[in-house]
Each structure stands twice: as C-alpha cells, then as structure tokens.
A and B are shown apart, each in its own frame.
Chain A
Amino acid sequence: MSLSPVEDIALSEFSPGTVAEPAAPGSGFVGRSPGQLAWARLRRDRVAMVSGGVLVFFFLVALAAPLIQWAYGTDPQQQFQDSLDLYGMPLGYAGGVTGSHWFGLEPSLGRDIFIRMVYGLRTSLFIALAAGVITTVIGVLAGVLAGYAGGWLDAVIGWVTDFALAMPFLIVALALVPTVSLRFYGPREAVPSSFRVAVLITVFALFGWTSAARLVRGQVVSLREREFIEAARASGVSTAHMLFRQVLPNIWAPILVSFSLAVPSYVTGEAVLSFLGVGIVDPTPDFGAMIFRSIHYLQTDPTYVFFPGVTIFILVLAFNLFGDAVRDALDPRSNR
C-alpha cells in the first residue's frame, strides 16, 4: 500500500540521491520531509482518497447549505402537515419520499428531512470540529506538559485528568446550560442557537480533553527516553524549543488519529445531549438530534431512521478510515 521507510533507507544506502526528488542539476539536493512522504503515501492510498473525498463532500454540503436550499426550494422550517396522516405519519411511499421531498418528511411536524439534514450537518459538524480542535489543543498541551515535565506537574495534570474523567458529565451539562443561559439572556429572550452551540462546545471541551491528554502524555513519556531528545537537551535548547520543535512534530500521528476519532464521537455525543434537552433544541436543525429522535420511529417510519442513520454511519466510517490512513501514512511502521 505504501512505500515503507525501510525501502527508502535501503535505497539511500546504495545510491544516495536517488530517492530524492529528481532535482534540477545544480540546484542542490532537497530531501523529502516525513510530512511530504506521508502526503505522497496518502495520495497513493485509494482508501484514504475515497474517505477523504467523502469527508470533503460532507463539509462542502454543510458549507453550501443555503445554496442547496435555494436550488432545492424548501425551507428547513417549512411544515408539510397536509402530507401527514391522522397519526402524524407521512403519507405515500417510504416515509413520504417524493420528487420534492427526496428523503421524505419528518413524522409529526412534517418538515423536509433532506434540507434539515443538510442544515443539521452544518450545525453538527461545526460543533464536532470546534470541540475536536479545542479538546485536542487542550489535551496536547496538558499531555506534553505532563509527559515532558514529569514530577509534580505530571501529578497535578494526572489528578485533574482523573477528576475530569470521574466528574458527572450529565449533571454538569444539565446544571450549566440553564444557569449560564439565565445569566446571559433575559427570561423573555429566546436563547439563540449560537449560544447553545457555544455551551455545547464548552461542555465537550471541559470533558473531552482527557483522552487526548493521556495519549499524548504516554507518547511524550516514551519520546522522552529517545536519544534525540537527550541530544537536544545536551545541545542546550530551551524548553519551548524542546516541546514544540522536538517533541510535538513527532506525535502528530497519534494526535491526528485521536482527532479523527474524536470528531465523530462529538457528533453522536451531541445527539445524546440534544435528547436530554441540553444540546441544540428544535427548531434549529441538528443532525445529532435528528438521529436520536428518528431511532424511535424504527418500526413505524424506517425511512426516517434510514437516511440520517446511513449518513452518520458513512460519516463516522469515513472519519475512521481516513484517520487510519493518515496514521499509516505518517507512521508506516504500524502497518508494516
């Protein structure tokens, strides 16, 4: 699947210069960085390209939601209750799938599933990505500090990690959201969904960083024993240089993988929170909330379950596959 570094080394052993990019004569030798090599490997990996393409597609859909709405001609808030039967279930075949409602209608409120999914992806992906980035940054900082500094700092960060892990997530979320929204919004003001999004991201940030921190700490502890770290120390480099130039570039692979796993878990986690009334509430379209709600209609409106269900499956699968591919590309040894 990918050219292993062993082959690279072997090649350079015999004829130095042949692995380098065919440089123009006289321009000097330019080596290819591990990053460039990884990118090259990634480009040759069909799975990576397909899953990456799927992810790009989802992001584009989310970004282009208003454009899609314009072309599709239906508003995410528009109700088509005339197309529901007296139990609030969509009329017609397969949950109300028609030429104008591609994925059918929601039971009860009778809104168009397709356009709500498009907008819902926008909300959910934004929350998941933002939470993913924030937790990864916090986790990496905490992990690098704990792993590299050791001693009391490690102990304190370890303690905080334990604390965050054992903290009652639900209670904090349930207590935080109304309290905070009361502080910012009057009793007659609707809480805008942007605020709820921010609160959700905060809640995830409070709890989600621990796994990244643990992972990074472990990596750093083992890196700390590597001789190039000692070499840098013997060279008298500063701590900042040590952390950001020596350590960090070597743990990108696990960080990227944990990020690629964290993002889909926030999409689904957000679904649970929405269900508990802490997350995004109606009428804001939200993919996670939609999935959780649809599950209850498994027996009566399978179409409603099918489209969001398949979409989240593909989304998470694409994240997983892409994450694996990135890891393989960055760290080919693990797949050797």
Chain B
Amino acid sequence: MSTDPPNAVPLLAVQGLAKHFPVREGFGSRILRAVDGVDFEVRAGETLGLVGESGCGKTTTGRMLVRLLEPTAGRIRFDGRDITHLRGRALRPLRRELQIIFQDPYSSLNPRHTVGKIIAIPLQANGIRPPGGIRNRVRELLEIVGLNPEHYNRYPHEFSGGQRQRVGIARALAVQPRLVVADEPVSALDVSIQAQVVNLLRGLQRDLGLGFVFIAHDLAVVRHLSHRVAVMYLGKIVETGARADIYQRPQHPYTRALLSAVPDIERSREDRGRIRLEGDVASPLEAVSGCPFRSRCWKARDRCAVEEPALVAREGREQLVACHFPEPAPAVSTEEVRGEPVAG
C-alpha cells in the first residue's frame, strides 16, 4: 500500500483529450470515437488507475499520453508544459521523463536484439552516459527488475513471458522517468506471474517514487497500486475518485458492475451479488445521444436517452461521476480495501 501522500502540483494534466479514427466500411466512411473528451490529472509520485473494458479507449489514451498517437483534440500538459503537439526533436526531452510499459511481452521486445541492447537503446537514444558505463547500468537495471544481470547477452526468445515483461519494465526505467504509463502490463501473463510483476511495480513505486498511469481492464489489479482510479466507458471517463471512494462507494452503475466482477475467494458464488450486464455495448461509431451506458444500464430512464450526464461531483465529495441516477449508498459487499494483492 502506497504511503506517500500525493503531491499537490499535477505532473500530468489532461483536458478534453480525444482521438477519432476514420473508419471506412463498405462504401461509406465514419468516425470511430476511441477517446472522446477525457480529463484527469496525475501528480508526481501518484498512481492513477485507468480502468475499463477492452475497446473503451484506455489504451488509446495511454498511447496519446506518451505521444505515440496524435490526439485529435484536447490538451496534454506535462510538468506544466504543453506537449500535445510536440514533434520530432522537441519530443526528445519528454522521452526521458515519460515512459511506457507495454501489454504484450512477446511483441514489445525486438526479437533480433539482446535484452542488453533492448535496455541500452533508450540510454543511447537519449544520449545518457551513466557513470559506470551503459553496460553496468543495464546490469543494474536487470538486477532491479529481478533478472540475472548475466543474461545481458540473451535474446528475448530465451525468456519466459514474465521475464520478458521485466525486461520491458527495465527498458522503461532505463532513462529514470518520472511517470510511466503501464498499459495492461500483466494482463498477458499467467496469474501466478501477474502477482510477481505487480509486486515488482509496487516496489518500484515505493523505492523510486515513480508515478504511474496504470491501465487495466479490471479493478482487481489496479486496487493495490493506485492512489486514484478513473473508470472509462466508450471513450469517456464515467467515474473518478480516490481509491477508497471508488472501491467502497461506487456511484456509477458501470463501476458497480465492474466491481462485482472482481473475484473474491472469500465469498461464495451465491452471495457475491455479481451484476451481469445485459444488452449490447453502444457502438463507438454511432453518434452519441444521451448516456452512452444506457443500453446496458438497469437504471436507465427516458432522461438517459436525451441528456448526456456530465462528470460532476455528487453528494459533495471529491468523487466525480457521470450518471443521472448515481448510487446513493455503498451497495457492493467489498467494504474494506484489502491491503494484500489479489493473489500470491
């Protein structure tokens, strides 16, 4: 469990961030609104959990944060500087401060390079000359992420998935960034390995004072790392707040549904009160009218079809929710925030 209170100055500030992809179907052309106006802030050393089902736009958001994708609209500020449309050389300094860990440990490592080289590339590309030499720094990094430093000359195919993900983490850490976007870093791993990697990240968070934007598709993984959590649905944030608020008092029906799906070995299947969402996810291709979640929401009323709910604070808390009919009281049985990781 993280201890340091979040810093007061936002390191990363995102306003109205949007990404639209043109999609051609048959003989027509439509716009896919992958991310459609997202606001959040991350303070130095703080970890924001970004949660949502696949296809909700969280990965696209992550890619835009590290400027691998060009935002369609909105603004990204890092350390007070507008980085929304930085290009080429101007982007270089940012690369040293903002790094990314990828989801797929198999495709994120160049199979033709040794892990040593993979980790060294960010150093070389950014002209960083560590005091002991690049080679020593790489060994150090391998040690930090829990790998044998003598495996410097090995190729990715000689490692397991978990080991590879550690290499990916070492690469992200090489330039000593202040913020790391972790894009579902464990979802491709076996459950037993997931826990190891999550623990590694927690350690890094604690020891290096790193800030994370931790992207995940379920709330379970995020719980142990995040100071704050944002829930995304169809390219929008539907609820955001401090971890404890989100987990104990989820107000948006979608958050509730997600939470109910968190496996909990201590309770029997019957009294888990799992909410099964029915209905189809609205297509991100269709023009939005009203609440995007209404097609699956059991509380949907006429108003939801007409008016889109704004992301605002309800009940005077620092918990923002975009719902006309937010949950009034804690209804999920996961009352307390558990300090232990989900597994192992």
Q: Do chains A and B touch in the complex (CB under 8 A)?
A: yes
**In the assembly, what is the distance between CA of A233 and CA of B96, in Å?**
12
Bound-complex Cα distance A30 to B104 (A): 25
List chain A residues, Cβ under 8 A from B289.
none
B102 and A28 contacting across the interface, CB-CB below 8 Å = no
How many residues from A make CB contacts under 8 Å with B?
33
Q: Which of B125-150 contact A (CB under 8 A)?
A: 125-126, 148, 150
The answer to whether the Cβ of B154 comes within 8 Å of any Cβ in the partner chain is yes
Interface string of A1-27 (1 = CB under 8 A from B): 000010011001100100110000000
Scoring B residues 94 to 133 as 1 if CB is less than 8 Å from chain A, else 0, what string do you get?
Answer: 0110011011100111111110000001100110000000
> Is the Cβ of A8 less than 8 Å from the Cβ of B157?
yes
B121 x A28 contact (CB < 8 A): no
Are B95 and A249 in touch, CB under 8 angstroms? no
Q: Could you tell me the distance in whole angstroms from the C-beta of A104 to the nearest C-beta in chain B?
A: 51
A31 near B95 (CB under 8 angstroms)? no
Query: Is the Cβ of B92 less than 8 Å from the Cβ of A236?
Result: yes
A67 located at the interface, meaning its Cβ lies under 8 Å from any Cβ of chain B in the complex: no
Residue A250 at the B interface, CB < 8 A? yes
Does B91 interact with chain A (Cβ within 8 Å)?
Answer: yes
B168, closest chain A residue (CB): A231
A232: shortest Cβ distance to chain B, in Å? 7
A30 near B153: Cβ-Cβ < 8 Å: yes
Which of the listed residues A16, A31, A230 has the most CB atoms from chain B within 10 Å of its own CB? A31
Query: From residue 230 to 263 of chain A, which have CB atoms closer than 8 A to chain B?
Result: 230-238, 241, 245-246, 249-250
Residues from chain A with a CB closer than 8 A to the CB of B99 are: 234-235
Decide if A29 touches B150 in the complex (CB within 8 Å): yes
List residues of chain B with CB within 8 A of the CB of A34. Answer: 111-112, 155, 157
Contact of B151 among A16, A32, A226, A245 (CB under 8 A): A16
Chain B CB within 10 Å, residue with most, of A13, A228, A237, A245: A228
**Inter-chain contacts of B168 with A (CB < 8 A):** 231
Q: Is B64 located at the chain interface by the 8 A CB criterion?
A: no
B150 and A32 form a contact (CB under 8 A): no
Could you say which of A8, A35, A230, A234 contacts B158, with CB atoms under 8 Å apart?
Answer: A8
Known A234-B66, A236-B92; judge A31-B110 contact (CB<8 A): no
Determine whether A299 belongs to the interface, using a CB cutoff of 8 Å to chain B: no
Flag whether B333 is at the interface (Cβ < 8 A).
Answer: no
A233 to B125, alpha carbons, bound, how many Å? 10
Say yes or no: A16-B121 contact (C-beta < 8 A), given A227-B108, A228-B108: no
0/1 interface trace, chain A 205-247, chain B, CB 8 Å (1 if under): 0000000000000000000001110111111111001000110
Is the pair A235, B150 in contact by a Cβ cutoff of 8 Å? no
30 sample A-B contacts, Cβ–Cβ < 8 Å, listed by A number: A8-B158, A9-B157, A9-B158, A12-B159, A16-B148, A28-B152, A29-B150, A29-B153, A31-B155, A33-B114, A33-B155, A227-B104, A228-B107, A228-B110, A231-B109, A231-B168, A232-B110, A232-B125, A233-B68, A234-B100, A235-B99, A235-B121, A235-B125, A235-B126, A236-B126, A237-B121, A237-B125, A238-B125, A245-B113, A249-B110
Q: What are the 10 tightest A-B residue pairs by CB atom distance, in nearest-first order?
A: A31-B154, A236-B95, A227-B108, A249-B112, A235-B122, A237-B125, A227-B102, A228-B110, A13-B160, A227-B107
User: Chain A interface (Cβ within 8 Å of chain B)?
Assistant: 5, 8-9, 12-13, 16, 19-20, 28-35, 226-228, 230-238, 241, 245-246, 249-250
